[in-house]
Structure 1
Amino acid sequence: MRFYVNNFCYLSAENKTMLSDERHCFDKSDLPKLDWVSPIQRRRLSAFTKMALHCASEVNSERANCPVVFSSRHGDLHKTASLLDSLALKESLSPTGFSMSVHNATAGLFSILTNNQAASNTVSAGKESLLMALVDAYAKLKSDNLDQVLVVHCDQALPIEYLGYQDEKQIDHCLAMLISKSIATGEELTIERSEKKPLNEDALLPHGIMIGQFLRSKNSRCLLQGRHNNWSVKALT
C-alpha cells in the first residue's frame, strides 16, 4: 500500500506514571476538553470517546464531509465491563451506557456531532486492528475514487479484570490520520507485509503507539509484529 498522510493527531499516556496494576492511563484532568461539544453531551462521554473525538476533530478541523474508518481492538471495554458488572449484580442497565458501548458508537457520534454525512465503518481485528483499518481505507481510496479518508484508532489500557489476557503493553492511546492517494501537504508512506520474525521488545507496544511515535519522530522505517506476519511502514518523503 502507498498513500499520503496529510495530517495526523496522536495522544498517548505512555509517559504517565505506571499504575500498580501495570497500566498507563490518562487522569480525568488529562483528557481533551472538547469545547466544541455541548456540555450536556460532554457529560455522557467516556474517556475512550473523548480521545477518539478529539483526535478525529483535530485532523478534520474544517469539518469536511469525509469518509471515516474507525478502529479499536477492544472498543470502549471499560463501559462494557461496567455493564457486565451491573448484570452480575442483577441491576438494571443504563440505556445510554448500553447504546454507547457498541463498537461503532463513537463513529456514529462523530458523524452526528460534526454533521459528517459520508460513509463510516468500524474495524476490529485484534492486535492488527489499525493496520486492517488502513487496508480498508486504502481500498476505499482506490476503488471509490475518493480524495481522502479519515482513519481513527483508539484503545485504552485494559480494565483490571482483563489484565490476565494482555499480550502487549497497556497504554491509553489514540491516533487519527487523514490519508489520500495523491500528494497534498503530507508525507508519503508505504506499508508492506513480510515474513514473521522476532522483533525487539518495542513489538510489545500497541501498533497505534508505534505508528504514532513513527510519525512524530520522522524516522524512515517502523517495524510491526502481527499475529501471522510482520509489517514494514516506510516514509518515502
Structure 2
Amino acid sequence: MLKFSIAQWQGWAPGIDSPDGWLDWAEHPFCPFGDKSVPRLDFLPALQRRRLSPLARGVFECAWPLAEGRPGMPLVYASRHGETTRNFGLLESLAADEPLSPTAFGLSVHNAIAAQWSIIRRETAESVALSVEDDGLEHAIIEAAMLFGHGHEDVLVVLTEEVPPAPYAPWTQDVPCSYAVALHLRPGSDWTLTMDPQQTDPALDAPQAWPNPLNLLRHLLLRTNAWRHANRARQWIWTRTA
C-alpha cells in the first residue's frame, strides 16, 4: 500500500483550462473531440514557445504553476505514446527520401519533454520519463513514492497524451482527446493506493470515455471517497483517507 498527499493539481485539455471549466467537466464529463487548440504559454519567451510541440505545451501549461516560486522538484514524466506526431513527421520525411532534421529527431525521443523542462527552467533536480500502459497514472505514483523513499519531500508528476496522427487511428484508440495533468505530491496519508494483480470481474468495470488521469481529476473535484481502476492485468484501489 502506498500513502501520499496531493498538495496541488493542474489539468489541461482543449477548451478546459480553468477551475470552473474543470468543475463543469467533473459534473458532466466528456472528451472534447475535434478541438485542436493548444496552450498559449504567455509566461515563456516566444523563442522558447516555438520550440515546444503541442504535447510539450500541455505539460508546461500544467506543470509551470505548480513549480513556480518553489525549490526544484524531481519530475516524473509519464506517457504511453509520447511525441507520436513528431515521430510520424520523421517517418514521412524518410518515405519522401528527405534528410532528417537532427533537432526534430532529438525532440522526438520519449524523455525530450522532461529535458526541455529541465533546460528552460534551469532545473537540476532529477527527472525520469516512463513509457506506460493505461495505468500509467498509478505507475507514476509508484515512481514518486520511490523518490520519497530517497528523501525527497516534493515530487512533480506529469501525465500527458496527444491524439495521434490519423494513420494510427485503427491501432491507437486509447487517446480520445489530448490532455495533460500535473500533480504536486508530498509524503503523507491523505490518500492510499493499493494494487491487486487479479481483476475480479472485468464486466464490472465499464470502459471510461475519458483518460484515467482526467478521471482522477474528476474524483478529486467530486470528492469521491474511493474508486477502482482496472485493466487486463491489474486493478488499483484509490482511497481518500482525509
Same fold (TM over 0.5): yes
Shift >2 Å, 4+ stretches? 12-15, 22-28, 166-169, 199-206
What is the TM-score when the length of structure 2 is the normalising length? 0.85
Q: Which residue of 2 aligns with 1:89?
A: 96
Matched letter for residue 85 of structure 1: E
CA RMSD, Structure 1 to Structure 2 (Å)? 2.1
How many Å separate the matches in 1 of 2:218 and 2:145? Answer: 21
1:169 Cα shift? 4.9
Counterparts of 1:161-176 in structure 2, within 5 Å, are 161-176=167-182
Q: Among residues 70, 76, 80, which one is paired with 1:69 in the alignment?
A: 76
Q: Does 1:225 align with 2:230?
A: yes
Q: Which residue of 1 aligns with 2:24?
A: none
1:53 Cα shift? 1.1
What is the TM-score when the length of structure 1 is the normalising length? 0.87
Deviates more, 1:93-102 or 1:50-59: 93-102
How many Å separate the matches in 2 of 1:23 and 1:165? Answer: 20
Deviates more, 1:209-218 or 1:42-51: 209-218
Counterparts of 1:15-164 in structure 2, within 5 Å, are 24-28=33-37, 31-142=38-149, 144-164=150-170
How many Å separate the matches in 1 of 2:224 and 2:36? Answer: 30
CA shift digits 1:165-202 (9 cap, x unpaired): 1353511111100101137xxxx211111331324434
Contact 1:64–1:116 under 8 Å retained in 2: no
1:12 Cα shift? 2.4
How many Å separate the matches in 2 of 1:181 and 1:67? Answer: 14
Contact 1:25–1:156 under 8 Å retained in 2: no
Gaps in structure 1 of 5+ consecutive residues: 16-21
Change in 2 beyond 3 A, CA 1:4/1:222? same
For the residue of structure 2 that corresponds to 1:150, the secondary structure is: strand
Contact 2:73–2:125 under 8 Å retained in 1: yes
For the residue of structure 2 that corresponds to 1:213, the secondary structure is: helix
Gaps in structure 2 of 5+ consecutive residues: 17-30
Matched letter for residue 11 of structure 1: W
Change in 2 beyond 3 A, CA 1:169/1:152? closer
How many Å separate the matches in 2 of 1:220 and 1:13? Answer: 28
Deviates more, 1:32-41 or 1:202-211: 202-211
Contact 1:14–1:24 under 8 Å retained in 2: no
Counterparts of 1:172-191 in structure 2, within 5 Å, are 172-182=178-188, 188-191=190-193
1:76 Cα shift? 1.2
Contact 1:74–1:155 under 8 Å retained in 2: yes
Change in 2 beyond 3 A, CA 1:14/1:230? farther
Change in 2 beyond 3 A, CA 1:103/1:26? farther
For the residue of structure 2 that corresponds to 1:170, the secondary structure is: coil
Change in 2 beyond 3 A, CA 1:23/1:180? closer
CA shift digits 1:55-112 (9 cap, x unpaired): 1112212242111110001001111111111111111122222111111011011111
1:42 Cα shift? 0.8
Contact 1:63–1:116 under 8 Å retained in 2: no
Deviates more, 1:209-218 or 1:198-207: 198-207
CA shift digits 1:142-183 (9 cap, x unpaired): 2x1111111001101222111111353511111100101137
Q: Which residue of 2 aligns with 1:18?
A: none
1:13 Cα shift? 3.8
1:123 Cα shift? 0.4
Q: Does 1:201 align with 2:206?
A: yes
For the residue of structure 1 that corresponds to 2:208, the secondary structure is: helix
1:14 Cα shift? 8.5
